[in-house]
Amino acid sequence: MKGSIITAVHAMEGFSDNGLTSVIATVETADGSIGQGACSCGLSVGTNEAPYLYDGGTAFDGMGVSRAAENIRNVIAPLLIGQDASEQTECDSLLLTLDKSTIGANTTAAVSCAVLKAAAASKGIPLYQQLGGVRAFTMPLPAYLGASGSTRYKDVMCVGYQPNYYFVAYDFPTYHEAANALWEVLMNWEDYLRDFLGVKMTYTTGIAIPKGKLRDDYQLWDMMRDIIKESGFEGKIGLHIDMAASGFYNPRTNQYEGLFSESPKSRAEMIDLAVKMASEYPFVIIEDPLHDQDFEGFAEITRKTDIQILGDDLYACNLERLKQGIALGAGNAVRIDVAQVGTITEASQVAQYAYEHGFGLYGGAERGEGWASCDYAVGFNCSTAQNMGLYFGCNRLLEIESELGGRARFPGKRGIRGRRFQLR
């Protein structure tokens, strides 16, 4: 029997590194190799994402995943036992015969990732190589979370901790040098937050700046711009904001409430703010600047700016939505996240279509996969990626850079989409 033949599939309910419940799938192969995949809810969830399966009831606020684990054991395991884990497309095609609305995309995502990891373990190769083959050599630009929080100007928690602000190192020859420079900025930023705002930064959640510390987020933009300049990295390190604007959008008033300041904002005002951020501040990536159905608004922002306009909630790693958005010119980059769509194969199709049409690829870094998110970013050849964490993420990417040696490609400025950075 071939060593990578699947001999067992297990599942359990557990917890994610983001503090939420997670369905955890384990795939075993004939040669004793094991792959474990996990999928949990994100801190923010777009309305376009494939549906997850939760238990309901009172346990875990209704977000238990014991039913998802049961589906893996009782429904998916009989489908996959006897299949070859190294044949990802064939294994995923079996998962795709199931109805995600009943089986749960969190269920299929956990299993699909487990299959990929089991195959890599069976071959004795890194996860990024199993995913991307010989083309997996692009190191994403390092980005670390610097500020967060959604209740500074409105009492109701909108979505997770958004808006999230990241420092992004982009004008350096190697990942290692970029990461070192970013560390210097973070150390200075930590001191600044403590001395001038009286708040403490942590390297897992950044800093949720409370009420009363800022009159508005425009003040925060000034502070982050100044700390980059004072650290000596002006033009080399920039800012990425994940607005998650859908969480602040009130469809009854057609206004964005509690974002950046106490004043509600119209669609036109949000577009003007995005243009201001791109032209007057060191923002190099703006993510989800409008609600997740506004393709035309995304397209207008893309036309009026020369930086990376990233669709996460807008696209939800969905191929049909990406096709629609590319046709309209809505943004110029898409987040690649298996957990949003349900299988490695579907995420790969989105990545390939985006690449063929000049869209940037942005790697996700939550939903329970931990350090494996770094391998996914490299395996999908993402030139930008979500904050991977100062410790586990940076260390894993440094390790990958070392493994790749001379093959490692750090894209530098060209890793960011937008006319400003696509130099010949």
Domains and CATH numbers, the chain: 6-124 (3.30.390.10), 133-415 (3.20.20.120)
d(CA 116, CA 23): 16
Type of residue found at 239? L
Tell me the sheet residues that pair with 216.
Answer: none
Contact 412, 173 (CB under 8 A): yes
What's the rounded Cα separation, in Å, for the pair 132 and 381? 8
What's the confidence (pLDDT) of residue 205? 52
d(CA 213, CA 54): 38
Q: Is 288 exposed, middle or buried (0-12, 13-18, 19+ CB in 10 A)?
A: buried
CA distance 150 to 259: 7
- Per-residue pLDDT tens for 268-302? 999 999 999 999 999 999 999 999 999 999 999 99
At 35, which helix (H) or strand (E)? strand 34-40
> What residue type is assigned to position 93 of the chain?
S
Rounded distance, CA 384 to CA 361, Å?
7
Q: Contact, 336 vs 351, CB < 8 A?
A: yes
Name the β-bridge partners of 164: 242
- Structural element, H or E, at residue 167: strand 164-169
3-state secondary structure of 285: strand
Q: How far apart are CA 275 and CA 177, in angstroms?
A: 30
pLDDT, tens digit, for every residue of 59-81?
888 889 999 999 999 999 999 99
Write out pLDDT tens, residues 168-190. 999 999 999 999 999 999 999 98
Pairing of strands 6-15, 164-169: unpaired
Q: What CA–CA distances, in Å, run from 259 to 14, 207, 264, 286? A: 33, 16, 8, 14
CA distance 409 to 92: 30
Q: What is the pLDDT of residue 424?
A: 44
Look up tokens 């376009």; give the residue.
48
Using CA atoms, how far apart are residues 154 and 171, in angstroms rounded to an integer?
A: 37
Beta strand extents in 183-338 (DSSP E only)? 237-242, 249-250, 255-256, 283-287, 308-311, 333-336
φ, ψ of residue 256 to 5 degrees: the values are: -100, 120
Query: What three-state secondary structure class fits 134?
Result: helix
The answer to whether the beta carbons of residues 73 and 9 sit under 8 Å apart is yes
| Residue pLDDT, tens place only, 354-383 | 999 999 999 987 666 788 999 999 999 999
What are residue 148's phi and psi, to 5 degrees? Answer: -155, -175
Length of the chain: 424
Asked whether the predicted pLDDT for residue 197 surpasses 70, the reply is yes
Predicted confidence (pLDDT) per residue in 222-267, tens digit = 999 999 999 999 999 999 999 999 989 999 999 999 899 989 999 9
Give the closest residue to 294 by CA, choosing from 248, 262, 339, 337. 248
Above 80 in pLDDT, residue 94? Answer: yes
- Per-residue DSSP letters for 10-23? EEEEEE-TTSSEEE
pLDDT reported for residue 75: 97
**pTM (2 d.p.):** 0.94
pLDDT category of residue 214 using cuts at 50, 70 and 90: confident
| CA-CA-CA-CA torsion sign (360, 325, 316, 236) | positive
Q: Which pLDDT score is estimated for 390?
A: 56
The candidate with the shortest Cα–Cα distance to 375, out of 179, 133, 146, is: 133
CA 150 to chain centre: 18
pLDDT over 50 at 143, yes or no: yes
Give me the chain's average pLDDT, please.
Answer: 91
Cβ count within 10 A of residue 266: 12
